[in-house]
């Protein structure tokens, strides 16, 4: 059994871990090294077992802890080539770190095989990841994306667990306090996924046989876990889709470690 663990999730910072038999990888690190390290210690994850770091894109809520965290470590970091260029050009990772372009056909990192796929977002490049473990478990994750197309759905499906963004409730964003330019950015095709967009994708994934869904990167201002979960139930009812009892949908917590998910 592998485990997916969200350490923290949202525009204030994102970080999660995929672990199997003690060995683990980290996906993104948007809060300080101190906060991240203390969460890892509480989970019993030792840095000597860290196999590598995946970075989805260069926005600060995904990378701001990396430089300090990696200061005394020798682990490889993987992302898309434009993201890696940005990290190098802006000295956002220490010079000794082996920064590698993720191979889209599959890169082996310890017991994990990682396939990156592109997602639409207003960054140099943004990647989702499909992860297969030596033990035969599989998951996919897509955070920070403006829309979901068939190609992305294909990458998110056929796995034991899918983690997908459910950033905002359409009405909370529309009538909320954000300035117009920010509302436009968030709801654009290179912004974030609304609960409606995320629920549609989720239902397609469930129809394809995914049993475990986890919602990530919820907005603090424009969403609540209850609204995101209700949207899925309502979308299913509206479209006559039956949600089987063995399907679980969980929401990542903002500032705390979310109960680990076995997959």
> Which chain residues interact with Zn ion by CB under 5 A?
59, 61, 144
CB of 13 to Zn ion, least distance (A): 9
217 closest CA partner among 69, 37, 61: 61
CB of 146 to Zn ion, least distance (A): 10
CB of 168 to Zn ion, least distance (A): 12
Q: Is 257 left (phi over 0), alpha (psi -120 to 50) or beta?
A: beta
Complex with Zn ion: residue 20 or 61, whichever CB lies closer: 61
Complex with Zn ion: residue 2 or 251, whichever CB lies closer: 251
Q: Tell me the H-state helices in 158-224.
A: 170-175, 180-187, 195-207
CB of 217 to Zn ion, least distance (A): 6
Phi, then psi, of 20 in degrees rounded to 5 = -145, 130
Complex with Zn ion: residue 144 or 169, whichever CB lies closer: 144
**Closest residue by beta carbon to Zn ion:** 59
Q: What angle do CA 262, 80, 124 make, to 5 degrees?
A: 115
CB of 62 to Zn ion, least distance (A): 6
Locate the DSSP E strands across 50-152: 50-54, 77-79, 99-101, 107-109, 112-118, 127-133, 138-142
Which residues are registered as beta bridge partners of 225?
Answer: none
Phi, then psi, of 39 in degrees rounded to 5 = -65, -40
Distance CA 165, CA 255 (A): 16
Q: Is 229 left (phi over 0), alpha (psi -120 to 50) or beta?
A: alpha
CB of 237 to Zn ion, least distance (A): 30
Complex with Zn ion: residue 123 or 133, whichever CB lies closer: 123
Complex with Zn ion: residue 6 or 137, whichever CB lies closer: 6
Distance CA 158, CA 176 (A): 37
Complex with Zn ion: residue 59 or 200, whichever CB lies closer: 59
**CA 148, chain centre distance (Å):** 14
Complex with Zn ion: residue 59 or 130, whichever CB lies closer: 59
CB of 144 to Zn ion, least distance (A): 4
């Amino acid at each position: 059994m592998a485990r997916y663990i969200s350490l923290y999730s949202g525009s204030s910072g994102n970080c999660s871990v995929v672990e199997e038999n003690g060995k683990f990888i980290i996906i993104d690190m948007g809060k300080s090294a101190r906060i991240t390290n203390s969460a890892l210690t509480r989970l019993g994850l030792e840095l000597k077992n860290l196999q590598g770091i995946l970075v989805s894109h260069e926005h600060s809520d995904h990378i701001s802890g990396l430089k300090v965290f990696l200061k005394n470590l020798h682990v490889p970091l993987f992302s898309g080539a434009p993201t890696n260029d940005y990290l190098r050009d802006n000295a956002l990772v220490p010079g000794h770190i082996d920064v590698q372009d993720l191979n889209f056909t599959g890169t082996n990192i310890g017991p994990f095989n990682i396939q990156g796929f592109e997602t639409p977002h207003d960054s140099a490049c943004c990647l989702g990841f499909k992860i297969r473990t030596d033990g035969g478990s599989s998951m996919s994750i897509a955070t920070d994306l403006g829309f979901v197309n068939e190609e992305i759905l294909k990458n998110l499906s056929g796995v034991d667990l899918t983690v997908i963004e459910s950033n905002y409730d359409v009405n909370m964003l529309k009538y909320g306090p954000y300035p117009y330019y920010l509302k436009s950015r968030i709801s654009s095709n290179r912004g974030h996924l609304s609960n409606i967009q995320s629920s549609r994708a989720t239902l397609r994934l469930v129809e394809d046989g995914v049993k475990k869904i986890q919602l990530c990167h919820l907005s603090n201002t424009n969403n609540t876990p209850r609204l995101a979960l209700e949207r899925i139930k309502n979308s299913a009812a509206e479209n006559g889709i039956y949600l089987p009892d063995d399907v679980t949908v969980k929401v990542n917590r903002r500032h705390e470690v979310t109960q680990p998910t076995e997959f």
